[in-house]
Amino acid sequence: MPRRYDPERRQRIIDAAIRVVADKGIGGLSHRSVAAEADVPLGSTTYHFKTLDELMVAALRQANEGFAKVLTESGLLEGAEDDLAGDLARVMGEWLGGDRAGVELEYELYLAALRRSALRPVAAEWTEETAERLARRTDPVTARALLALMDGICLQVLLTGAEYDEEYAREVLGRVIPRPARPSPETTPAPVRPPGPSHVRFPL
Amino acid sequence: MPRRYDPERRQRIIDAAIRVVADKGIGGLSHRSVAAEADVPLGSTTYHFKTLDELMVAALRQANEGFAKVLTESGLLEGAEDDLAGDLARVMGEWLGGDRAGVELEYELYLAALRRSALRPVAAEWTEETAERLARRTDPVTARALLALMDGICLQVLLTGAEYDEEYAREVLGRVIPRPARPSPETTPAPVRPPGPSHVRFPL
DNA sequence: CATCGATGCGTACACTCGTACACATGGAAT
DNA sequence: ATTCCATGTGTACGAGTGTACGCATCGATG
């Protein structure tokens, strides 16, 4: 009986759970499948995580760091440039274009909160935090809206199998961001920017 | 042996499947659970739907009509008024405020397409069609963006347990819609009210 | 009437699941 | 040194699963 008193046992189980969800989906998540993937006996997974919900909470917490990391490393949050929409569209592109399975995994766990109330606080926490970080380059309301729109765009891509269109994303994200009020008090509400949808390609 | 040769057997099975998903989630969907709910023998469900994917496709197709119906009945599509954002926000409010379980059901089936490629064409079809209908009151690009944003907003509400804020929705939806540059005098830039991220309630 | 295919019905098999529990082990506290 | 308890291990049980298959029943076709 090797490997007893493994101090990282718990972490290894979480990692294994993430791998399981990544390639078999949430439906394939079970104490047994995780135990096999982590190469630990069944009793070990049930000991550390009494219920699958507990395990999913831990997995979601860890998986959530995926996009957060991309966001951090993009330097987008420190940047002070004007083109926030373009930056976000680019980051989304990198995220979606990179480890697609990882993206699906994150969304699958995130969306699981729809039915599993145990996951809701974690999902809420993540939304809260990300919106807050985003708000550094805009205002809280806009940050939340950008987050919602990004979610919607990603879902359209993932659910329908469409191609991600960065130009399109940049365009519509830009519309959500209020233009910095010009000093001239005259340029009333007009969110300006001629919509010119003519040159925007559609994801099919 | 009553009820043989039931011509509506298939439809009744689909209805039962929807009820099962509605109150036990997709995880609770099985040939047996559906058979019990529809009050038909097991063999009947397996006969009409060889796989659960087939059954889910049928269920999703039918469930998708929920929001579509709300959209139609709202008269939003025929209306020619200016406040499309407000109309959409109102409709969303009605939808979310009404049969909440029904909404969760629709999203659950819709989101299931993330992992089940069999559902993707159906999801894509629905998106396509709804965007098209929406485009009657704006342009195709905007329609798609509105759809994405609405999905994102709904998900934030459903996943985090937050309250739906119609005013907020109206505001940000409005930003996505390009204003036909018209010199209307007093339309204010509408200062924003945050959705109050600080007091998001958790269920439970 | 005879046949045949679509549909319905019941049952059985092999499998996976969560859960429970009894037991082993070793570090920490006393 | 002894005790205690968190942790790890193995096994078993009952419930639920998809699937397959044989038979029953009807409608239509010839």
Using the beta-carbon criterion (under 8 Å), do A113 and B195 form an inter-chain contact?
no
B172 contacts A191? CB cut-off 8 A = no
Amino acid at A108: E
Instruction: Tell me how far apart the alpha carbons of residues A26 and A105 are, in angstroms, rounded to a whole number.
Output: 9
First to last CA, chain A: 55
Residues 172-201 of A with CB under 8 A from B: 172, 175-178, 181, 188-191, 193-195, 197, 200
Q: What is the mean pLDDT of residues A88-114?
A: 94
Residues 3-62 of A with CB under 8 A from B: 25-27
Statement: residue A147 has pLDDT above 90: yes
Give the pLDDT score at A181: 56
Q: Flag whether pLDDT at B3 surpasses 80.
A: no
Which of the two residues, B148 and A79, has the higher pLDDT score? B148
| Whether residue A190 has pLDDT greater than 50 | no
All residues at 6 or more sequence positions from A118 whose CB lies less than 8 Å from its CB, including other chains: A53, A54, A56, A57
* Secondary structure letter of residue B177 according to DSSP: S
Greater model confidence, A11 or A197: A11
Nucleotide minimizing C1' to CA distance for residue A1: D9
| Percentage above 90 pLDDT, chain B | 70
Asked whether B101 and B22 are in contact (CB, 8 A), the reply is yes
State the burial class of residue B39 (Cβ atoms within 10 Å of its Cβ: 0-12, 13-18, 19+): exposed
Tokens representing residue B186 in the block: 């007093």
* The predicted structure's pLDDT at residue B76: 82
The separation, in Å, between residue A41 CA and nucleotide C21 C1' comes to: 15
Radius of gyration of chain B (CA): 20
| Contact flag A190-B197 (C-beta cutoff 8 Å) | no
Q: What are phi and psi of A7, to 5 degrees?
A: -70, -20
Chain A: residue whose CA lies nearest to B193? A141
Whether the pLDDT of residue A78 is over 90: the answer is no
Q: What's the CA gap between B166 and B171, in Å, rounded? A: 9
Q: Are the beta carbons of B139 and A114 separated by less than 8 Å?
A: no
Neighbours of B88 (CB within 10 A): 26
pLDDT tens, position by position, B29-75: 999 999 999 999 999 999 999 999 999 999 999 999 988 999 999 88
A166 token code pair:
């960065």
Average predicted confidence (pLDDT) for chain B: 85
Distance from CA of B5 to the nearest CA of A (A): 35
Cβ-nearest to A176 among B161, B175, B203:
B175
Percent of chain A exceeding pLDDT 90 equals 74
- CA–C1' span, A41 to D2, in Å? 31
- Å separating the CA of residue B41 from the C1' of nucleotide C12: 15
Least Cα distance to B27 among B59, B61, B52 occurs for: B52
pLDDT in tens, B72-100: 998 888 876 788 999 999 999 999 998 88
Judge whether residue A84 has pLDDT over 90.
yes
Chain B nearest CA to A139, separation (Å): 9
* Mean pLDDT on B172-181: 87
Nearest nt (C1') from B33 Cα: D16
Biggest distance spanned by C-alpha atoms of chain A: 79
Across the interface, which of A120, A172, A188 has its CB nearest the CB of B202? A120
With pLDDT > 70 as the criterion, what percentage of chain A qualifies?
Answer: 84
One-letter amino acid for residue B150 of the chain: M
d(C-alpha B89, C-alpha B84), whole Å: 8
Q: Distance, angstroms, CA A151 to C1' D9?
A: 44
Statement: the CB of A35 is under 7 Å from strand D = no
- In this predicted structure, what is the pLDDT of residue B155? 97
Residue with tokens 């119609």: B166
